[in-house]
Structure formats: C-alpha cells, structure tokens
C-alpha cells in the first residue's frame, strides 16, 4: 500500500535560484515516514518508552532526477519494499504532478537506546502487514 504525503515548497526550502536545496528532499521523506507510521497507529515515543527500541536510517540511495521549485506542490510516496526482523526497506519518491523528481530507497533499522541492533517490535510488524 502506498502512502502519500503532501509537501508545499516554501522559500526557505530553496536556494537563490528558487530550486529546492538537495538536502531538503531528505527532510521531506523523513516527514513522510513519520506520518506514514503514525497513520498506521504507531506512536514512536510510546514504542521507545515501552520497548526501548528506536529507529535510525542505516542506508540511503538517492537519485535527483529533476528540480522542484519554490511554490511547487509535491507528493512524497512511501512504500514498503522489504521487511526483516530488524529492518524495513522503503521506496520513497518525491513527485510533482505524477513526475518523479527524487527517487530513494531507505533502509531503517531498529536499535536499542545504546545503539545495539534490536528486533522490530510486534506493533511495528503488525502495523505494516
């Protein structure tokens, strides 16, 4: 199931030419992941408090295909590609009017608060099936 998250490009997101600064795409996809998991009923703060598990980006592949510009309305599409006991691989594309501007594959891992690898909590596994 594909999750869609709207993003409006503000002046602060752009460089002097009015083009979205490359690092801001990472912010856009981070926000989309937060809303994606929240909409599945997962409270990440509660998961941390109850299980001691937090999440971190382990690997990211990104392709910048075309520029987004000031005042554009974009959509971040998030989709699960794979899931194991300790990681989730997501495909996240940033689109404008259906055209992919930024394509990424993000690997998220579960960690203890000390940074050791951990299994995905049951609530996460259940919410993604």
Q: Which residues contact 67 (CB under 8 A, 6 or more apart)?
A: 19, 20, 101
pLDDT for residue 31 is more than 90: yes
CATH class given for the domain over 3-127: alpha beta
What average pLDDT does the segment 115-125 reach?
A: 89
CA distances for 122 relative to 33, 49, 107, 111, 117, angstroms:
18, 14, 18, 14, 15
**Active site positions, annotated:** 15
What pLDDT is recorded for position 59? 98
Domain boundaries, the chain: 3-127
Pairing of strands 87-96, 73-83: antiparallel
Predicted TM-score of the model (pTM): 0.93
User: How far, in Å, CA of 113 to CA of 127, rounded?
Assistant: 22
The percent of residues in the chain predicted with pLDDT above 70, rounded, is 100
């Amino acid at each position: 199931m594909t999750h869609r998250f709207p993003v409006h490009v503000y002046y602060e997101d752009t460089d002097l030419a009015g083009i979205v600064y490359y690092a801001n795409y990472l912010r856009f996809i981070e926000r989309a992941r937060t809303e994606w998991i929240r909409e599945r009923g997962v409270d990440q703060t509660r998961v941390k408090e109850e299980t001691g598990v937090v999440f971190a980006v382990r690997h990211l592949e990104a392709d910048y295909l075309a520029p987004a510009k000031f005042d554009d309305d974009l959509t971040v599409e998030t989709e699960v590609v794979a899931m194991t006991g300790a990681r989730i691989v997501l495909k996240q594309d940033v689109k404008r009017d259906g055209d992919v501007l930024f394509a990424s594959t993000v690997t998220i891992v579960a960690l203890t608060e000390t940074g050791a690898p951990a299994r995905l909590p049951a609530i996460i596994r259940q919410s993604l099936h």
